[in-house]
Amino acid sequence: MKKIAVIITRGGWNNLLQACEWIALAAASGLEVSGYFRDEAAGRMTKAKIKELTMSPDYRGREAFVRDLLRNEKKADLSKIMQTSKETGNVKFSVCKDSLRYFDVRVEELIPELDEVQSAEAFWKEAVLPADQVLTF
């Protein structure tokens, strides 16, 4: 089975959505996928922050329009997209232990779709080295 490692660092909603959509496509294609949230993206993996539909500056003036589109297209719930990916294929989501400290996030605040809190070194050895392809967002 081909393996893909996906490293998600930017925390804007549009970036998180893109990463989750690519993970879902890979899972549906039969690939083994490991997703790793670090830096700003890790700070967004809490039950409260995952629901904030914040856009990058490029969406300025179009935020409300895009939020409505996301809701209408059933893409406004990242947790649900992540859960569906896991149900569809072989997907594991991890979050960076160090990044959680940077954003003062406690493990009990994290969304349940995350499978593991791990160091970058552990993800490197477990997912990046054996990967056939690495995607970054």
3-state secondary structure of 24: helix
Average pLDDT over residues 66-81: 93
Average pLDDT over residues 128-137: 98
pLDDT > 90: percent of the chain? 87
What confidence tier does 1 reach under pLDDT thresholds 50, 70, 90? confident
User: Can you give the pTM of this predicted structure?
Assistant: 0.92
Alpha carbon 123 to its chain centroid, in Å, reads 14
The whole-number pLDDT of residue 100 equals: 98
Token code pair at residue 72 = 């209408």
Q: Which of 22, 11, 134 is nearest to 85 (CA)?
A: 22
**Residue 100: phi, psi to the nearest 5?**
-60, -40
Contact status, residue 53 vs residue 13, Cβ threshold 8 Å:
yes
The whole-number pLDDT of residue 58 equals: 87
Domain extents in the chain: 3-136
CATH number of the 3-136 domain: 3.40.1260.10
The whole-number pLDDT of residue 54 equals: 84
Average pLDDT over residues 68-77: 92
Tens of pLDDT, residues 21-55 = 999 999 999 999 999 999 999 999 999 999 988 88
Tens of pLDDT, residues 77-93 = 999 999 999 999 999 99
Average pLDDT over residues 89-116: 97
